Amino acid sequence: MTDMTLFEPYALGPLTLPNRIVMAPLTRNRAGSGLVPGELAAAYYAQRTSAGLLITEATQVSAQAQGYQDTPGLYTQAQIAGWRKVTDAVHAKGGRIFVQLWHVGRVSHVDLQPEGAAPVAPSAIRAATKTFVNNGFSTVSEPRALELDELPGIVNDFRQAAANAIAAGFDGVEIHGANGYLLEQFIKDGANQRSDAYGGSVENRARLLLEVAAAVAQEIGAERIGVRISPVSPANGISCSDPQPQYNYIAERLNALGIVYLHVVEGATGGPRDVAPFDFDALRTRFEGTYLANNGYDLDLATARLNMGKADLFAFGRAFIGNPDLVERLKTGAPLAQFNPATLYGGGAQGYTDYPTLAEAATE
Ligand SMILES: Cc1cc2nc3c(=O)[nH]c(=O)nc-3n(C[C@H](O)[C@H](O)[C@H](O)COP(=O)(O)O)c2cc1C
């Protein structure tokens, strides 16, 4: 057994990360009704800059892509300018930041859709899940199935948002192919009953994700793209009858595209790692780029998995909420602060930018 630690530099494409600890994407619903991130978001991300890489909260590629109240977008000039404040603040502190791009598909509500339209999905199957809308949690709306001729527009929305990300100063983008949102709705047959080229076989169900990845790679370069997947997660009421062959194929095709990392939620997102049998090593074998592991990691598990050669980088989600200096705390063995669940979604600075570092806590 070798003796690697999380606290050594790692080359991620053109970037040098000072450590192997990544901040996982975390939706916090504070972009306001304009869906524009502001100074508060800039302060929040800047506080967490000691992560090897920051991945932002999920950010919609179009108005139709929104599924929760007050989540930011990246499809208007005002949103590009808002995100520029964030990237400037992070870069000023020597950090690196990718933006996570999403389309929520059926995980939305008519009150969040342009002109109160039905949310879109591969098939007209309502998700058994809730969304955060009108300052509370509500059942998602009944979706309508996307027409075949609408899919190029969705691919193009991702492409344009990636171009906007570069204009906003991001170091790269993460395509959200996980957690029951649109791209995963196409991948998993519990949500996809199409009979055209985007439904049925393993290849067909992977098609939209792969088209998006190829378009984004053409736009900004594969070395600036990660893709997040969650093969066995039931998040947002989704299911898949054949995750192993489905995701083995996806890993092979993403490898051929040369994207820089594959971000894998191992197990149920935020829940048990062993929710269903799945051979994650099969993805690692097929994808030669960086394997970014997530879900339920702590320092010991991450260090063990690193030394077993199972992953290169580790994304921590919940631990970053209450610990802006998570890297330093893990390095020194300091205790981790808990976050307040009441301030996760929405609100202002409270429970967002007011969690102290260890040093700040000591002087309070
Ligand atoms: C408040 C909160 C918001 C989240 N938002 C996102 C998101 O925007 N995009 C995403 O892919 N995952 C999101 N997740 C999932 C996390 O990225 C991560 O997969 C999960 O918390 C498991 O990692 P952990 O055990 O280190 O917390 C969110 C999780 C939480 C707790």
CATH number at residue 21: 3.20.20.70
Which atom of ligand 1 is nearest the CA belonging to 296? 25
What's the chain's average pLDDT? Answer: 97
Which atom of ligand 1 is nearest the CA belonging to 100? 9
Candidate of 27, 176, 295 to mutate for ligand 1, largest count of ligand atoms within 8 Å of Cβ: 27
Candidate of 318, 323, 343 to mutate for ligand 1, largest count of ligand atoms within 8 Å of Cβ: 318
Q: Is position 119 within any domain?
A: yes
Q: How far is the CA of 315 from the centre of ligand 1 (A)?
A: 10
Q: How far is the CA of 126 from the centre of ligand 1 (A)?
A: 22
Catalytic residue among 68, 181, 198, 247: 181
Would the pLDDT of 1 be above 60?
no
Q: In this predicted structure, what is the pLDDT of residue 14?
A: 96
Q: In this predicted structure, what is the pLDDT of residue 363?
A: 83
Would the pLDDT of 2 be above 80?
no
Q: How far is the CA of 124 from the centre of ligand 1 (A)?
A: 26
Would the pLDDT of 169 be above 70?
yes
Confidence band (pLDDT; 50, 70, 90) for 198?
very high
Q: Is position 243 within any domain?
A: yes
pLDDT per residue over 303-339, tens digit each?
A: 999 999 999 999 999 999 999 999 999 999 999 999 9
Packed helices 151-167 and 202-220: angle between N→C axes, nearest 10 degrees:
30
Instruction: Please tell me if the CB atom of residue 176 comes closer than 6 angstroms to any atom of ligand 1.
Output: yes
Domain coverage including residue 168: 10-363
Q: Is position 56 within any domain?
A: yes
Confidence band (pLDDT; 50, 70, 90) for 233?
very high
What average pLDDT score do residues 71-99 get?
A: 98
Q: What is the 3-state secondary structure (H, E, C) of the chain?
A: CCCCCCCCCEEECCEEECCCEEECCCCCCCCCCCCCCCHHHHHHHHHCCCCCEEEEEEEECCCCCCCCCCCCECCCHHHHHHHHHHHHHHHHCCCCEEEEEECCCCCCCHHHCHHHCCCEECCCCCCCCEEEECCEEEECCCCEECCHHHHHHHHHHHHHHHHHHHHCCCCEEEEEECCCCHHHHHHCCCCCCCCCCCCCCHHHHHHHHHHHHHHHHHHHCHHHEEEEECCCCCCCCCCCCCHHHHHHHHHHHHHHHCCCEEEEECCCCCCCCCCCCCCHHHHHHHCCCEEEEECCCCHHHHHHHHHCCCCCEEEECHHHHHCCCHHHHHHHCCCCCCCCHHHCCCCCCCCCCCCCCHHHHHHC
181 labelled catalytic:
yes
Atom 2 (ligand 1) nearest CA:
26
> Could you give the CA distance from residue 210 to residue 177 in angstroms, rounded to a whole number?
10
Would the pLDDT of 104 be above 80?
yes
- Contact between residue 190 and residue 241 where contact means Cβ atoms under 8 Å apart: yes
Q: How far is the CA of 227 from the centre of ligand 1 (A)?
A: 15
What average pLDDT score do residues 134-158 get?
A: 97
Q: In this predicted structure, what is the pLDDT of residue 274?
A: 96
Q: Is position 2 within any domain?
A: no
Q: Is position 34 within any domain?
A: yes
Q: In this predicted structure, what is the pLDDT of residue 207?
A: 99
Confidence band (pLDDT; 50, 70, 90) for 33?
confident
Q: How many structural domains compose the chain?
A: 1
Candidate of 26, 292, 321, 336 to mutate for ligand 1, largest count of ligand atoms within 8 Å of Cβ: 26
> Could you give the CA distance from residue 107 to residue 220 in angstroms, rounded to a whole number?
28
Instruction: Please tell me if the CB atom of residue 49 comes closer than 6 angstroms to any atom of ligand 1.
Output: no
Instruction: Please tell me if the CB atom of residue 52 comes closer than 6 angstroms to any atom of ligand 1.
Output: no
Looking up tokens 């793209």 gives: 225
Atom 6 (ligand 1) nearest CA:
26
Considering Cα of 25, then 30, then 32, then 33, what sign does the dihedral take? positive
Query: Of 59, 65, 69, 227, whose CA–CA distance to 137 is shortest?
Result: 69
Q: Is position 1 within any domain?
A: no
What average pLDDT score do residues 250-268 get?
A: 98
Would the pLDDT of 69 be above 80?
yes
Q: Is position 247 within any domain?
A: yes
